[in-house]
Structures are given as C-alpha cells and as structure tokens.
C-alpha cells in the first residue's frame, strides 16, 4: 500500500493504476479513494494513469487533529502531485473533491494541470449568504454536525439510503451494496476530521478560485441532486467559468458516479481524450 509522508508528518494513502497521461481523482465527503474505483478502472483500461488518494482524515490516511480545511487539502494534493512528478494531469473532483481541485488551482497554479473536471461539485459556495442567495441555510449543515455528534454511523446510513443516491425518490430500488460501501468508507474516516470537513465543504467560498480556471473544464451535475443542489453549484460554476462544458443529467442524484457510472465514465473519458 503506497503512502506519502507529507511535510507535516502525515501519511497520505494513494492508488496509482496504469500508465499514460495522469488522471487524478479527488473524492467526496465522508468517502475515500474507493469511491472512484469504477472511473479509475475505466481510465486505466483506456490508456491513462489513474491516481486517487484518501484525503487527510479519511480512509487509510492519517487523522490529524488540525488542518481539516480546503487549504490543507489542496496543499496535500500539491505534495502528492510533486511526489509523483505529475505533469499534463487531468484533475477530477467529486463533491468536496471539486472544492479541493479548485483550491489547488488557486493556490498552486496550473503548471502541472492540463484539464479539470467538477463532478457534482460543492463549488462555488454551498452556504446561503447575502451574496449567494441560492445556497443552503446554515441550519442544514448545523443539523449534519449535530447528527454526526449524536451517531455518525447512523448519519452515514441515512444519507446513503436516502438522498445521496436518490433512493428516497419514488420508484427507485435501493442498492444495499452501495449503501454498505458508503457507510464503510465513512466510518473509516476520523470522527473529528469528517466533522470539521462539513464546515470546509459548506462554508468555503471558491468563487475567486473558479475565476482562475483557464484550462478546459468539464462540469457534470444531476438536476435532482439533493445534497449539492444544482442551481447554487453547477449553474453558478458555469457562470464563473464561461468556457466550461456543462452536462446536466436529468433526474440524477448526487451519487451519479455510481448510479449513472456508464454514462459518467463515457463523458469523462471523452473529455479527457478531446
């Protein structure tokens, strides 16, 4: 199992599959790199080098008490990119990972980056504010924090069996396998780390970060995303990155990398090859 020892002394677990142009996958909350396995396998089978890490505090990586914020997430990603000597890389970020990609580009530039993809991303800002009226009220995230403190294991089951994959919608058939996978990845993460990350993904303002996107950019989002509503995320991101390609999946939930993985894989691969 490959680990990178960061300058802060944390162990960062990562996967490195295949050969070719590097494609780096940044995962969502409270998951880890396993959540990208379908896309990584698809890319590695199609001539790319697929790389994904467990964000600090998640999965098999260290669980530092401090630094559970977007700046540290981006800096860890920069260390991994440097450690692997990646150039001409394609960065894909899902949900919280989209914020990680945006903050990386803002803090570390694009010398190593060829393209970027924001998949169901939390960018540009999830929280409702005077300048972001389409965002979600702070009470939504306060409730998540309270549920995490009360019984985070149950919180992850509730999220996975309900809004994340859209299994709470009429006519859907829940997949116990997907629910189990989400839960197992979530409980692998540190309690403090995943708790702090709620603030990181909901309150970090990425509007200035997205204005620095000059590379080809792909945005994919479901219009029935109950976790990261599309109007305040993908639609707003497209406005800030006018040259980006926006693909909206009708009726798709937040976890569309699993529920719609064949289409997602095809769209992401086409973008990478274009």
Q: Which residues have a catalytic role annotated?
A: 95, 225, 254
Nearest to 52 by CA among 32, 72, 68, 66: 32
Residue 224 near residue 120 (C-beta atoms within 8 A): no
- The CA distances from residue 197 to 66, 71, 145, 174, in Å, are 11, 12, 10, 27
Closest among 145, 146, 163, 52 to 100, alpha carbons compared: 52
- Residue 168's nearest CA partner among 177, 153, 157, 154 is 157
CA–CA dist 121, 134 (Å, integer): 15
Contacts of 184 (CB under 8 A, 6+ apart): none
Question: What value, to the nearest 5°, has the Cα angle with vertex 169 and ends 163 and 173?
Answer: 95
Given a contact cutoff of 8 angstroms between Cβ atoms, the answer to whether 178 and 148 are in contact is no
Give the Cα separation of 99 and 115 in Å (integer): 15
d(CA 148, CA 145): 5
């Amino acid at each position: 199992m490959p680990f990178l020892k960061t300058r802060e002394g944390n162990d960062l677990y990562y996967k490195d599959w295949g050969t070719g142009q590097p494609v780096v996958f940044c995962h969502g909350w409270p998951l880890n790199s396993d959540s990208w396995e379908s896309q990584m396998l698809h890319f590695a089978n199609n001539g790319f080098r697929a790389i994904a890490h467990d964000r600090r505090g998640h999965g098999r990586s260290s669980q530092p008490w401090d630094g559970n914020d977007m700046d540290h997430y981006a800096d860890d990603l920069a260390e991994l990119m440097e450690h692997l000597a990646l150039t001409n890389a394609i960065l894909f970020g899902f949900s919280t990972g989209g914020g990680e990609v945006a903050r990386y580009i803002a803090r570390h530039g694009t010398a190593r980056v060829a393209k970027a993809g924001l998949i169901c991303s939390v960018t540009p800002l999830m929280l409702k504010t005077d300048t972001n009226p389409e965002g979600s009220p702070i009470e939504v995230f306060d409730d998540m924090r309270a549920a995490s403190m009360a019984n985070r294991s149950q919180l992850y089951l509730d999220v996975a069996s309900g809004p994340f994959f859209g299994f709470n919608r009429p006519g859907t058939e829940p997949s116990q396998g997907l629910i189990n996978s989400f839960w197992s990845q979530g409980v692998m993460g540190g309690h403090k780390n995943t708790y702090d990350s709620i603030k990181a993904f909901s309150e970090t303002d990425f509007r200035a970060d997205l204005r620095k996107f000059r590379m080809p950019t792909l945005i994919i989002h479901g219009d029935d995303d109950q976790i990261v509503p599309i109007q305040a995320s993908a639609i707003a991101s497209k406005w800030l990155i006018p040259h980006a390609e926006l693909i909206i999946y009708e009726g798709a939930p937040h976890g569309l990398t699993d529920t719609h993985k064949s289409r997602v894989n095809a769209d992401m691969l086409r973008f990478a090859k274009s």
